[in-house]
């Protein structure tokens, strides 16, 4: 095969998207590197939109996976009991939940982010016997109708082809300006019997909005939100599909806020190796599901159990978390420097942990940066309703040197766009 | 680990179901066999509810998979282009579509059945600019809100916690009695401006209802349905998630009816090896998606591309299909004999291909048969709103001898239940 | 003013409709007669679509009304207590409810048919805690969103501009053919946990479908429907807005079926004089409304109380009902004769009581008949999704002679159209 | 009849409400006075919640009405043309619309407020081809499902028994605090493609919220709202059912803001005499209704045409408007004095025109005031989600002396409650 995208043009649906931004055919990957059919090497600062926090094809997980396959371990077993599943449950409990003083039952809702979100919404409605769910501006929770109803993006919403119901959008932290605490506004709606907004079954949110433009909720805002939820008996659902599993520096993104959500949605990197996998964590007192009330053929992806279990071993060593934070600081410093050096960009830094980027007010700036970076062999995504943010998403354990290598490519791209834009605007 | 389910009781959500019907911990599988932690052997007449049509851990696919992993082939790439994906697209087109004179664009909607159904409904609404979708009594299409709206089962529907909209249930073939052609009834509704039922965007159905009780639509009924859809410009969506990929004797379940659906939903066995995977086949003229209008993190499960491509090679040899039909005939003969021999069962045969079973009018009969069969080392599921059908779902390429082995276990179970029931009722 | 419709063209909305079928300006009316500005006299075989069952400006009611106004009786009092309201409640109970062994609480839901329907649906949902409502093909229940949801007509439904929810349309009696008892079909849906149709809060229907084409439910069908509702604890709501108040020969249209609906909706002729008025009759055990849970400014139209009370006095004398039946028989005989005499019409008689008409299979026939009848000074409406029925709706106490006068005009119109159609089709 | 409410307890539904606040049986009314069966006289500071702006049984209208009835004028004519309707259309155009430079087509949507609102929403959706409608906190628009969807009150909304869809509640003017211009917030939602709020078909609001607690929108806020609507092609619907027809000092409540809504909803006092009547005013370019797309039996209440036409004659004389303003000023002065004199009430003045009241932060204060006022022979309502406002709603042409008489009774009631509360709280 040569590097010809014709087969995709002819046979794959028009809905394909990333292959348009990164127009080459990939064959191989390792850690933070990818190679295409022409053997060109790329630095991956995208990480499968958060599905590859440990990098590509981690050697430890790979070894376990091959061993498992070789010995004819169970591949598919619906939701029957398997040793691979038992191992995962124990490891998750021992390494992650117990040390964080979190008690959760684990649900396997089907192997994607939208599945875990749909399961969370169902459960919240079942427990509270209410119907409405509050989500926040620029939240993204998935593409099936239930999850799409609580997603902000109008382009995605229109794709539904039907009006989306049972959802109310409230302003995320800092949505308006500093004068308005958006939670005061939300609380006002809940208190006021004439507000037109009834007490919802649940509130669902990301602590850092991955697709919505790296908007970040302050810890005190999250804490206050939890107390409002407690006051009105509302389910607090944290969608940690993208921000979880170390992306922001801690295993769960909400740890520094000191909150304990009723439900946590995890997918993407929980599988470790990039295999389809998702779990829904449920406070034991809410686990009132009837058997099979939510199900799905691929709830039990045993290969993902194997790699997920291995992946969790990284968290046994406290230095792993520290390493993430070091990298995060490095990224912060780099981005702040960039903003200062290129005022033409009119940029400001957004996000936290290894989930940061720069939002540029110049139309098309960030998209152009990502495009030029790709030409130089770096894969990076944009985010936000107008793709106004370019987003650094390398593996959370990327070598420091590789990080710097990436920074150079990004700066080169920024410089080139800044110059060009200058010419245009002046 | 001993064979103790305590870890699941303690850590897994109450929603788990099959591990309750088959209460043991599985470790290994090969072809039609599974083993638990006590090394007890089971015959698998369940096949992951149709996700393992080629049996467990097929050696050819396994070889390709290990090779791919070993060489650090791309595991996760969102919907970027990869060689594994290109190979799959080409193989599907060459081996399946072209020889059947079918022209379809391939969409990767996320790796589960409910994802492909949601994508199909979205597209139908987008193309037709209408909102309603007609589904049929006892149809099953998935557990996310969009797919659940077109699913018949009231227990599953209630799980939504909200009223489900934009869907109309019409009677499936033979739903009422022989005097009423249910399509005349449907057509009457469409023609009558006062029927309260507007022209829908789509009709979605299974040709054999896997979960709904192995109800089977006659080929002429399907043909007539296609012509009604043509007349009113309604999308015809065949959900072949469970009945497709050889389960009924042909690759697509609808082939013998001679119809060409606008959209075909495939998942479960399309991946070959039991890995999460789904595709949506779309007539080229309907492929008007905007890039990224429907997306998802695990659209591109490259390991599944590898095994799926290998699996399709079976279909290159016409004797493969013939083999399925021979097994199907054998099953038919067995079931007819069983019904005759055990009139106490009050049973009648349902389904077609290797998707057959017996519906018993005696309350609890079929469930009891499945339970006793498990005790004898055979895994088999029940179907239907009241679990009134026991369902033979062995791999479609199971050895003839193994089939007979299974029959014996099933007959033993039936005999035991029949005797017991006799005692109870007399 | 001359007979010039310009003012309406210029100042009234395009939504106006009957003034297009009957293009003249009316000034005066008495009994079964109307006069326009040119003093042309018309026979009114339309009766305000059932709002003028006692004819125009009945002298007894008129006297009471003028007296009431003259003495400054309360005109508007929201839902405060008034003597006029007390008199009405007592009269309704004494003359109508008690003698028929019916015990109902009376709700004043706002003065229109759609208001009483909306109140009935709300109450059914409140009492049963369910959401869905079953209505029937070609049913008509009003134009506000709640009532429109249970209305069959697609043109009216589209007017909503949003998908209409929480309603399921079942086939009315005789909708398919004689081989299918449509209630067996309905019951099958309710019994089958896989039908996609949940147990509804209510069933709403007209015993004769006034707008839907004078389709008539058999008494045994109504009886069976009542028993199905009892079996599943479903509210039986009879919308007697058009068919009630004597129109079919008895005060309530459902009396001969021997059923006792949970809720009865009345409007149109319950006010007697053509004043806006509606009531909702509720079995006492269902009257669990909270005060003001449904309200409206014109709940208490005291002038209508006055005329309604006077109107009910007609029902004190049994000969009143007998008189209606005589007129009904006369109409039946006339229509049967007409059908026989004009086979070109391809007509069959529909409806019952003084709510009968002829449905013609010849496209446009009935509309043309109504048009020509108007030219000859007779006002008559068409009904059905394609206006295929012309509909005789004179006052229920019309003089026999006037009835015959009207018959002549109708026959003349039929004859003219029949001849013309003959020419066209031959 | 003695003054015994037993008949209502026994025969009228529990839903009745005002007869509980004002527990007596009324018989007669004239101007601002009402009498009960014991001939006790009451001052009416309620005016049928705005349906009796000209007082009870106005002598000019009464004369015209009796004359019309006496001469057998058409009472009921659906939406046929009648001289009474023509007269009304001409008078409305000549006296109200033309002098205000407003060009509207007049729709008769059925004779109640909720009917006109439902018709407005339908039309907005039809013209814009969008589905969502924005309403405001504490807005009240009616009790049928379409109107209820845009109503804020949670008690009323729950009465629906189903989730209410296709509506978004935005904060009314001054909802949060002075720091937030709620329209900036609204505009932000419209501009942001990730806000989860799509461009709506319409915005619907009252300029003064009659039921919601006399909240008042500033004129510049209304002006800005109009410009936002223009920018995004959103229908601006003013629901002037309660605030219109002179209640705030001008015929339309929005006149001083200088806006020209796309649609205006009028009911209550537009009929003049308290007869059921409503109209929907539509900018000619939006009048794209198909004939009969919205209809209703009592669209054409001819008696209301007669009284409405007569009522409009008051507006021919400019001194009529001036008189309202004088009364409004008098009320303002009185209320401000009251607040100052009784600081225990913790009150502030709300509303404008003859649509003012006092909101008290003391729980139950305002309800108690209304209760005591009734005991002293004055009828007055409370408003707001917690009934926290007592509301002065005398006829807009009430004699000055009568106004003062009412003030005395109100002050007496306030004084009594203030004292009592003082005792309780100290």
Picking from D154, D193, D197, the nearest residue to A385 by CB comes out as D193
Measured CA to CA, the distance from residue B136 to residue B171 in angstroms comes to: 6
D238 and D133 inside one domain? yes
Measured CA to CA, the distance from residue B79 to residue B85 in angstroms comes to: 9
Min Cα–Cα distance to chain D from A243, Å: 19
B232 and B341 inside one domain? no
> What b/e readout covers D213-237, taking b as 16+ CB neighbours within 10 angstroms?
bbbbbeeebbebbbebbeeeebbbb
> What pLDDT, on a 0 to 100 scale, did the predictor assign at position B2?
63
The H or E element that residue C185 is part of is helix C182-191
Q: Given an 8 Å threshold on Cβ–Cβ distance, is D162 in contact with B162?
A: no
- Chain C residues whose CB is inside 8 A of the D121 CB are 161
Specify burial of residue A38 (Cβ count, 10 A radius: 0-12, 13-18, 19+).
Answer: exposed
Pairing of strands A381-383, B33-36: unpaired
Confidence check on the interface: ipTM exceeds 0.85, yes or no: yes
What token pair was written down for B181? 């052609």
Measured CA to CA, the distance from residue A278 to residue A113 in angstroms comes to: 6
Is the confidence at residue B244, as pLDDT, over 90? yes
Nearest residue in chain D measured CA to CA from A151: D196
Q: Does B153 touch chain A (CB under 8 A)?
A: no
D54 and D138 inside one domain? no
Measured CA to CA, the distance from residue A55 to residue A34 in angstroms comes to: 10
Query: What value does the mean pLDDT take over residues C185-190?
Result: 95
Measured CA to CA, the distance from residue A215 to residue D197 in angstroms comes to: 18
Q: Does D216 touch chain A (CB under 8 A)?
A: no
Q: Does D163 touch chain B (CB under 8 A)?
A: yes
The H or E element that residue A106 is part of is strand A105-107
Picking from D143, D161, D298, the nearest residue to C276 by CB comes out as D298
Domain-located, residue C67: no
State pLDDT tens for residues A371-382: 999 999 999 999
CATH number of residue A250's parent domain: 3.40.640.10
DSSP bridge partners of D389: D359, D383
Measured CA to CA, the distance from residue C403 to residue B192 in angstroms comes to: 33
| Cβ neighbours of A20 (radius 10 Å) | 15
Q: Does D132 touch chain A (CB under 8 A)?
A: yes
Is the confidence at residue D225, as pLDDT, over 90? yes
Measured CA to CA, the distance from residue C200 to residue C125 in angstroms comes to: 9
C352 and C306 inside one domain? no
The H or E element that residue D134 is part of is strand D133-136
For residue C292, which of C79, C29, C54 has the smallest C-alpha distance? C79
Beta strands (DSSP E) in D291-364 are 347-351, 356-360
D204 and D186 inside one domain? yes
State pLDDT tens for residues C37-92: 999 999 999 999 999 999 999 999 999 999 999 999 999 999 999 999 999 999 99
What token pair was written down for D68? 């019309």
Domain-located, residue C68: no
Domain-located, residue C171: yes
DSSP letters spanning D7-43: HHHHHB-TT--HHHHS-SEEEEEEBTEEEETT--EEE
Chain D interface, best mutation among C15, C53, C126, C284, by max D CB count within 10 A: C15
> What pLDDT, on a 0 to 100 scale, did the predictor assign at position A148?
95
First to last CA, chain B: 46
| Cβ neighbours of D35 (radius 10 Å) | 17
Q: Given an 8 Å threshold on Cβ–Cβ distance, is C194 in contact with B137?
A: yes
Chains that touch D (3 or more CB pairs under 8 A): A, B, C
Looking at residue C244, the DSSP 8-state letter turns out to be: T
Min Cα–Cα distance to chain D from C40, Å: 14
Q: Does A162 touch chain C (CB under 8 A)?
A: yes
A289 and A267 inside one domain? yes
| CA atoms within 13 Å, Cβ hemisphere of C152 | 29
DSSP letters spanning D187-253: HHHHH-TTSS-PPPSEEEE-SEETTTTSEE--HHHHHHHHHHHHHHT-EEEEE-TTTTTTTTSSSST
- Model confidence band, residue C177 (pLDDT cutoffs 50, 70, 90): confident
Q: Cα B165 to the chain's mean position, in Å?
A: 24
Domain-located, residue A65: no
State pLDDT tens for residues D265-296: 999 999 999 999 999 999 999 999 999 999 99
Query: What value does the mean pLDDT take over residues D342-369?
Result: 96
What token pair was written down for D123? 């039309």
Q: Judge whether C38 and C3 are in contact, CB under 8 Å.
A: yes
B10 and B107 inside one domain? no
Domain-located, residue D253: yes
> What pLDDT, on a 0 to 100 scale, did the predictor assign at position D425?
54
- Chain C residues whose CB is inside 8 A of the A163 CB are 162-163
B269 to A276, B379, B396, D117, D270: CA distances (angstroms): 16, 18, 11, 54, 68
Measured CA to CA, the distance from residue D339 to residue B358 in angstroms comes to: 81
- Chain A residues whose CB is inside 8 A of the D212 CB are 194
Picking from D131, D152, D180, the nearest residue to A196 by CB comes out as D152
Percent of chain C having pLDDT more than 70? 98
DSSP bridge partners of B389: B359, B383
Average pLDDT, chain C: 96
Q: Judge whether A276 and B276 are in contact, CB under 8 Å.
A: yes
Nearest residue in chain A measured CA to CA from D196: A152
Q: Does B180 touch chain C (CB under 8 A)?
A: yes
Query: What value does the mean pLDDT take over residues B218-242?
Result: 98
Q: Does A115 touch chain B (CB under 8 A)?
A: yes
Q: Does A194 touch chain C (CB under 8 A)?
A: no
Is the confidence at residue C412, as pLDDT, over 60? yes
Q: Given an 8 Å threshold on Cβ–Cβ distance, is A176 in contact with D155?
A: no
Q: Looking up tokens 């219109």, which residue turns up? A: D244
Measured CA to CA, the distance from residue B116 to residue A45 in angstroms comes to: 29
Is the confidence at residue B175, as pLDDT, over 60? yes
Residue finishing a domain among C284, C316, C348: C316
Residue finishing a domain among D290, D316, D342: D316
Min Cα–Cα distance to chain D from A205, Å: 13
Query: What value does the mean pLDDT take over residues D63-92?
Result: 97
Q: Which residues contact D40 (CB under 8 A, 6 or more apart)?
A: D24, D377
Q: Does D290 touch chain B (CB under 8 A)?
A: no
DSSP letters spanning C389-423: EEEE---TT--HHHHHHHHHHHHHHHHHHHHHHHH
> What pLDDT, on a 0 to 100 scale, did the predictor assign at position D422?
64
Domain range spanning residue C135? 73-316
> What pLDDT, on a 0 to 100 scale, did the predictor assign at position A2?
63
Average pLDDT, chain A: 96
Q: Given an 8 Å threshold on Cβ–Cβ distance, is C193 in contact with B155?
A: yes
Enter the pTM of the model.
Answer: 0.96
Q: Which residues contact D177 (CB under 8 A, 6 or more apart)?
A: none
Residue finishing a domain among A316, A350, A383: A316
For residue A199, which of D157, C226, B108, D25 has the smallest C-alpha distance? D157
Q: Judge whether A359 and A214 are in contact, CB under 8 Å.
A: yes
Picking from C26, C37, C156, the nearest residue to D77 by CB comes out as C26
First to last CA, chain D: 46
Min Cα–Cα distance to chain D from B300, Å: 26
Min Cα–Cα distance to chain D from A65, Å: 40
Q: Does A172 touch chain D (CB under 8 A)?
A: no
Picking from D152, D180, D212, the nearest residue to A176 by CB comes out as D180
Q: Judge whether A171 and A182 are in contact, CB under 8 Å.
A: yes
For residue D295, which of C153, C264, C56 has the smallest C-alpha distance? C153
Q: Judge whether B206 and B140 are in contact, CB under 8 Å.
A: yes
Domain-located, residue D67: no
Is the confidence at residue B57, as pLDDT, over 90? yes
Q: Given an 8 Å threshold on Cβ–Cβ distance, is C72 in contact with D29?
A: yes
Label each residue of chain B as H, E or C: CCCCCHHHHHHECCCCCHHHHCCCEEEEEEECEEEECCCCEEEECCHHHHCCCCCECCHHHHHHHHHHHHCCECCECCCCEEHHHHHHHHHHHHHHHHHHCCCCEEECCCCCHHHHHHHHHHHHHHHHCCCCEEEECCCCCCCCHHHHHCCCCHHHHHCCCCCCCCEEEECCCCCCCCCCCHHHHHHHHHHCCCCCCCCCCEEEECCECCCCCCCECCHHHHHHHHHHHHHHCCEEEEECCCCCCCCCCCCCCCHHHCCCCCEEEECHHHHCCCCCCCEEEECHHHCCCCCCCCCCCCCCEHHHHHHHHHHHHHHHCHHHHHHHHHHHHHHHHHHHHHHHHCHHHCEEEEECCCCEEEEECCCCHHHHHHHHHHHCCEECEEECCCCCEEEECCCCCCCHHHHHHHHHHHHHHHHHHHHHHHHHHC
State pLDDT tens for residues B283-332: 999 999 999 999 999 999 999 999 999 999 999 999 999 999 999 999 99
DSSP letters spanning C161-172: SS---SEEEEPP
C-facing residues of D in 88-107 (CB < 8 A) are 89-90, 92-93, 105-107
> What pLDDT, on a 0 to 100 scale, did the predictor assign at position B179?
77
Query: Can you tell me whether residue C54 is helix, strand or coil?
Result: coil
> What b/e readout covers D275-305, taking b as 16+ CB neighbours within 10 angstroms?
bbbbbbbbbeebbebeebbbbbbbbbbbbbb
Chains that touch C (3 or more CB pairs under 8 A): A, B, D
Q: Does C290 touch chain A (CB under 8 A)?
A: no
The H or E element that residue A114 is part of is helix A113-128
Pairing of strands C389-392, C356-360: antiparallel
CA angle C191, C193, C198 (to 5 degrees): 80
Q: Does B318 touch chain D (CB under 8 A)?
A: no
For residue C403, which of C310, C319, C334, C325 has the smallest C-alpha distance? C334
Min Cα–Cα distance to chain A from C163, Å: 8
CATH number of residue D381's parent domain: 3.90.1150.10
User: Taking the CA atoms of chain C, what radius of gyration do you get in angstroms?
Assistant: 22
Domain-located, residue B80: yes
Average pLDDT, chain B: 96
Looking at residue C386, the DSSP 8-state letter turns out to be: T
D153 and D167 inside one domain? yes
Q: Given an 8 Å threshold on Cβ–Cβ distance, is C292 in contact with D15?
A: yes
> What pLDDT, on a 0 to 100 scale, did the predictor assign at position B422?
64
Reported residue count of chain A is: 426
B-facing residues of A in 133-152 (CB < 8 A) are 142-147, 149
Q: Cα B221 to the chain's mean position, in Å?
A: 20
Q: Does A4 touch chain B (CB under 8 A)?
A: no
Domain-located, residue D65: no
The tens-digit pLDDT sequence of chain A (426 residues) is 566 899 999 999 999 999 999 999 999 999 999 999 999 999 999 999 999 999 999 999 999 999 999 999 999 999 999 999 999 999 999 999 999 999 999 999 999 999 999 999 999 999 999 999 999 999 999 999 999 999 999 999 999 999 999 999 999 999 987 778 999 999 999 999 999 999 999 999 999 999 999 999 999 999 999 999 999 999 999 999 999 999 999 999 999 999 999 999 999 999 999 999 999 999 999 999 999 999 999 999 999 999 999 999 999 999 999 999 999 999 999 999 999 999 999 999 999 999 999 999 999 999 999 999 999 999 999 999 999 999 999 999 999 999 999 999 999 999 999 998 765 554
C81 and C205 inside one domain? yes
D231 and D306 inside one domain? yes
Chains that touch A (3 or more CB pairs under 8 A): B, C, D
Q: How many domains does chain D have?
A: 2
Q: Given an 8 Å threshold on Cβ–Cβ distance, is A162 in contact with C162?
A: no
- Chain A residues whose CB is inside 8 A of the B273 CB are 75-76
D324 and D307 inside one domain? no
Q: Given an 8 Å threshold on Cβ–Cβ distance, is A162 in contact with C163?
A: yes
Q: Does B66 touch chain C (CB under 8 A)?
A: no
Q: Given an 8 Å threshold on Cβ–Cβ distance, is C195 in contact with B135?
A: no
- Chain D residues whose CB is inside 8 A of the A180 CB are 176, 179-180, 185
Is the confidence at residue D2, as pLDDT, over 70? no
C204 and C253 inside one domain? yes
Min Cα–Cα distance to chain C from D178, Å: 34
Q: Does D162 touch chain B (CB under 8 A)?
A: yes
Specify burial of residue A137 (Cβ count, 10 A radius: 0-12, 13-18, 19+).
Answer: buried
């Amino acid at each position: 095969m040569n590097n010809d995208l014709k087969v995709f043009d002819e046979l794959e649906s028009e809905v394909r998207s990333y292959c348009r931004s990164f127009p080459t055919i990939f064959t191989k990957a390792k850690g933070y590197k990818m190679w295409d059919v022409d053997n060109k090497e790329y630095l991956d600062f995208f990480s499968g939109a958060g599905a590859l926090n440990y990098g590509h094809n981690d050697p430890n997980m790979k070894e376990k996976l091959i061993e498992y396959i070789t010995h004819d371990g169970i591949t598919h077993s619906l939701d029957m009991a398997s040793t691979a599943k038992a191992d995962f449950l124990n490891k998750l409990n021992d390494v992650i939940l117990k040390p964080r003083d979190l008690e959760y039952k684990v649900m396997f809702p089907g192997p994607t982010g939208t599945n875990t979100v749909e399961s969370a919404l169902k459960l919240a409605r079942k427990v509270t016997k209410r119907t409405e769910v509050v989500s926040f501006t620029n939240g993204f929770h998935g593409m099936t109708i239930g999850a799409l109803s609580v997603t902000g993006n109008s382009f995605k919403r229109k794709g539904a082809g039907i009006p989306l119901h049972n959802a109310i959008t409230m302003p995320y932290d800092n949505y308006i300006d500093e004068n308005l605490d958006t939670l005061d506004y939300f609380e006002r709606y809940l208190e006021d019997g004439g507000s037109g907004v009834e007490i919802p079954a649940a509130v669902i949110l990301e602590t850092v909005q991955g697709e919505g433009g790296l908007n970040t909720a302050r810890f005190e805002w999250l804490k206050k939100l939890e107390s409002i939820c407690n006051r009105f008996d509302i389910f607090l659902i944290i969608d940690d599909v993208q921000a979880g599993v170390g992306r922001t520096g801690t295993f769960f993104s909400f740890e520094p806020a000191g909150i304990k959500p009723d439900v946590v949605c995890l997918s993407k990197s929980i599988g470790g190796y990039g295999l389809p996998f998702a779990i829904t964590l449920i406070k034991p007192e809410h686990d009132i599901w009837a058997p099979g009330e939510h199900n799905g053929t691929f709830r039990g992806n045993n290969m993902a159990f194997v790699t997920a279990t291995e992946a969790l071993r990284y968290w046994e060593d406290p230095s792993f978390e520290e390493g993430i934070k070091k990298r995060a600081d490095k990224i912060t410093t780099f981005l702040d420097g960039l903003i200062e050096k290129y005022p033409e960009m009119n940029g400001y830094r957004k996000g936290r942990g290894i989930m940061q980027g720069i939002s540029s007010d110049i139309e098309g700036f960030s998209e152009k940066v990502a495009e030029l970076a790709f030409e130089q062999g770096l894969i990076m995504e944009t985010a936000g309703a107008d793709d106004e943010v370019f987003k650094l998403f390398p593996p959370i354990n990327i070598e420091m040197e590789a990080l710097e290598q990436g920074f150079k490519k990004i700066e080169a791209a920024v410089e080139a766009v800044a110059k060009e834009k200058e010419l245009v605007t002046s």
